[in-house]
Amino acid sequence: DAGITQSPRHKVTETGTPVTLRCHQTENHRYMYWYRQDPGHGLRLIHYSYGVKDTDKGEVSDGYSVSRSKTEDFLLTLESATSSQTSVYFCAIRVGEDGYTFGSGTRLTVV
């Protein structure tokens, strides 16, 4: 996935612990997004950013926070992980006026 990387690729964490996922882009795109994907639900928007320190909530933002202190990095934090946050998390960037470019995803398991 050109220009966008997510880390870690897999993570197992315990209920109640904070978790931070990182999305890094190399192309200075303004818009970045965090989605989660669950069976039967498709992709659901958590938060997005339209510039450094400019963010907005998506459909399923409860329990999540984000930060963007540099153009290239967009961090997603689960304040206190719960089992319902077990999911695959995708970061995306908006390239021009066409579709989004997605990262390869982070598979998070909360036990």
Partner 1 sequence: SQKIEQNSEALNIQEGKTATLTCNYTNYSPAYLQWYRQDPGRGPVFLLLIRENEKEKRKERLKVTFDTTLKQSLFHITASQPADSATYLCALDGSGGYNKLIFGAGTRLAVHP
Neighbours of 20 (CB within 10 A): 14
How near is the Cβ of 83 to partner 1 at its closest, in Å? 21
- Given the complex with partner 1, which of 9 and 17 has the nearer CB atom? 9
For 61-99, give the DSSP string: -TTEEEEEEETTEEEEEESS--GGG-EEEEEEEE-TTS-
Site string for partner 1, 50-69 (x = CB under 8 A): x-----x-xx----------
Query: Which positions touch partner 1 (CB under 8 A)?
Result: 1, 31, 33, 35, 40-45, 48, 50, 56, 58-59, 90, 92, 94, 98-105
